[in-house]
Structure formats: C-alpha cells, structure tokens
C-alpha cells in the first residue's frame, strides 16, 4: 500500500472510554534516590531490593562526570566535598509530579564527609517534609538495629577515607578491630570499584571474619556489588553483614514506615529502626 493511499484513509469510529484513577505505583510510599553519575551498582541493587507492592522508586543523577585527568586522581576529602554540588536541581528532577516521602542520597564516603545534618538541610530546602537518608547514616542505623558491637570493615577506599569512616563508626559506640581495603598496585581502585567481583568481596569478608572476634562485617561503598551475596555470607561466616546499598534501601523503607520483613537481603531486613 502506498504512503499516498494511507493518507487518504480516515478512522471511521472513535470512542470515548471512561476510566478510573487510583494512587499509582507508590500507594504506600515514594522513595526518591539521587545517584552519583558514575555509579554502576546502586540503581541496579536498589531496584531489586525495593520491588515491593505499593513502593515507588524514582531517581535522578548528579554530577557531570570527570575528565580523563580527574579520573587519574585518587579519592580525596576535597573531591568528596564536591560530590553533592547541584543537589537542589537533582532532587527536583527525581519526580516533578509528586514529592518524595524519603530522599536517599547515594554516596557513602561523600555523605560521611559532608555530614547528615548538612545533607538534610539541603534536601529540605527543596522538600521540607521529606525524610532523609544516606548510606553512612543508614549503616549507623543498621548497626543500632542489629545490636552490633564489634565490626569488621571492608571497602575500596584509600586509607585516609577508610580511617575517617571507621572513626565515625567508633564514635557511635561500635568497635572496629579490623579493616581491609581493596588494593591494585597497577590500577586505581576509585575507577575499578564497580568492577570488583562479588567473589573478591566474599573473599575479603571471609578473611576479615576469620581474623578477629566480630559480630558484624560492613561492606562500604555503593559501587560494591554485595547485595546478592549477603545471605550466603551470613550463612557461611555466622556474622551479620551490612552493605551500603542494603542499608540505604532498608533505612529508606523504615523511614517511609514500611516495616515489611523481606527475605533474600540479609537479617537486617528483619529489623525495625532503633532510636539512637
């Protein structure tokens, strides 16, 4: 049939269909997530953990990426302090139709450096009623909920960043007798973090678990592909396992007053919030 012939045809019957409206996807809660532009893992793991009836997850990205020269620089406090520049716009872009009940900011080390009070202030400049979480605040909340007292720490961070995060955990009253960081003498872990295999993460957790008297192991960094191996690691090691992405998803749900017990993502998802 020629294009000319198609244009000459007309639709003969049109119907007006009545419809009903409901609460949409997020009938229980809307969770908004701001993800760093180079993050390869958080979005994937969050969608797996937060696929729950009535829970809507929307996200935006923040940052403009790094130049080749910038990508050669190791992670530093100075770089982390700039991570959430442009946060107002990123929050506004999460969902222009409905505000988020909870806003989750996705970078463990940057959130630790900037601090939860400052991040909450920035979010509430845009969404005054939103509850706010970030991976480091969520890890601290998870440690309280699980009653953790002695923690092993695994991360891809340089020593300066890892030590600062460990001090933050210890300030919350939890001892950290052992820590391990991923290292590659010929590469830059900052760029390779999302490609560290789950097998390597499992090996690091087991090594830390076997080397000290612990009740919990924390796997820090949203780039770590750890969520899918948490159950197995808890069974193998007998320890509680917390990852950045697992903690932020759990914390966002609990802040949204979703108290469902969800299997498959570790014992943390069996717990409710505990007051600090």
Report residue 105: phi and psi, to 5°: -105, 120
**The model's pTM:** 0.92
**Residue 182: CB atoms within 10 Å:** 17
Which of the two residues, 276 and 250, has the higher pLDDT score?
250
User: Cα dist. 170→20, 149, 173, 268, 276 in Å?
Assistant: 53, 10, 5, 20, 14
Q: For tokens 């180079």, what's the residue?
A: 38
User: CA-to-CA distance for 220 and 234, rounded, in angstroms?
Assistant: 16
Q: Is the pLDDT of residue 179 over 60?
A: yes
**Nearest CA-CA partner of 25 in 100, 86, 110:** 100
Q: Is the pLDDT of residue 64 over 60?
A: yes
What contacts 24, CB < 8 A, 6 or more positions away? 56, 98
pLDDT at position 74, please?
73
Domain ranges of the chain: 29-270
Q: Is the pLDDT of residue 5 over 60?
A: no
User: CA-to-CA distance for 33 and 30, rounded, in angstroms?
Assistant: 10
What contacts 123, CB < 8 A, 6 or more positions away? 87, 91, 103, 105, 130, 132
CATH class of the domain comprising 29-270: alpha beta
pLDDT band at 228 (very low <50, low <70, confident <90, very high): very high
User: CA-to-CA distance for 112 and 136, rounded, in angstroms?
Assistant: 6
**Nearest CA-CA partner of 272 in 263, 264, 260:** 260
Report residue 67: phi and psi, to 5°: -75, 160
Q: pLDDT tens, 113-156? A: 999 999 999 999 999 999 999 999 999 999 999 999 999 999 99
| Terminal Cα distance for the chain, rounded | 72
User: CA-to-CA distance for 117 and 124, rounded, in angstroms?
Assistant: 11
pLDDT at position 71, please?
63
Q: pLDDT tens, 184-226? A: 877 788 889 999 999 999 999 999 999 999 999 999 999 999 9
Q: Is the pLDDT of residue 68 over 90?
A: no
Reported for 191-198, long-range contacts at CB under 8 A and 24+ positions apart, including other chains, are: 191/71, 192/156, 193/156, 193/221, 193/223, 193/224, 194/39, 194/40, 194/41, 194/223, 194/225, 195/40, 196/156, 196/223, 196/224, 196/225, 197/225, 198/225, 198/226, 198/228, 198/229
């Amino acid at each position: 049939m020629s294009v000319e012939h198609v244009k000459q045809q007309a639709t003969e019957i049109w119907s007006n269909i009545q419809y009903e409206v409901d609460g949409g996807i997020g009938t229980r809660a809307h969770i908004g997530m701001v993800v760093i532009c180079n993050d390869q893992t958080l979005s994937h793991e969050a969608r797996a953990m937060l696929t729950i009836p009535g829970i809507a997850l929307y996200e935006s990205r923040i940052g403009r990426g790094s130049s080749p020269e910038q990508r050669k620089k190791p992670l530093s406090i100075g770089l982390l302090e700039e991570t959430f520049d442009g946060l107002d716009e990123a929050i506004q872009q999460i969902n222009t139709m409905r505000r988020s009940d909870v806003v989750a900011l996705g970078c463990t080390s940057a959130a630790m450096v900037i601090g939860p009070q400052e991040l909450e202030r920035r979010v509430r400049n845009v969404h005054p009623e939103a509850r706010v979480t970030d991976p480091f605040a969520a890890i601290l909340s998870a440690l309280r909920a699980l009653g953790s007292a002695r923690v092993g720490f695994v991360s891809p961070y340089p020593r300066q960043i890892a030590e600062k995060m460990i001090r933050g955990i210890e300030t919350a009253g939890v001892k950290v007798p052992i820590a391990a960081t991923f290292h590659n003498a010929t590469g830059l872990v900052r760029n390779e973090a999302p490609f560290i295999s789950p097998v390597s993460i499992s090996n690091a957790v087991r090594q830390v678990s076997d080397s000290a008297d612990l009740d919990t192991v924390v796997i820090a960094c949203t780039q770590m592909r750890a969520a899918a191996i948490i159950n197995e690691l808890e069974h193998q090691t007998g320890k509680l396992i917390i990852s950045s992405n697992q903690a932020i998803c759990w914390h966002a749900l609990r802040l949204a007053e979703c108290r469902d017990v969800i299997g498959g993502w570790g014992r943390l998802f069996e717990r409710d919030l505990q007051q600090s």
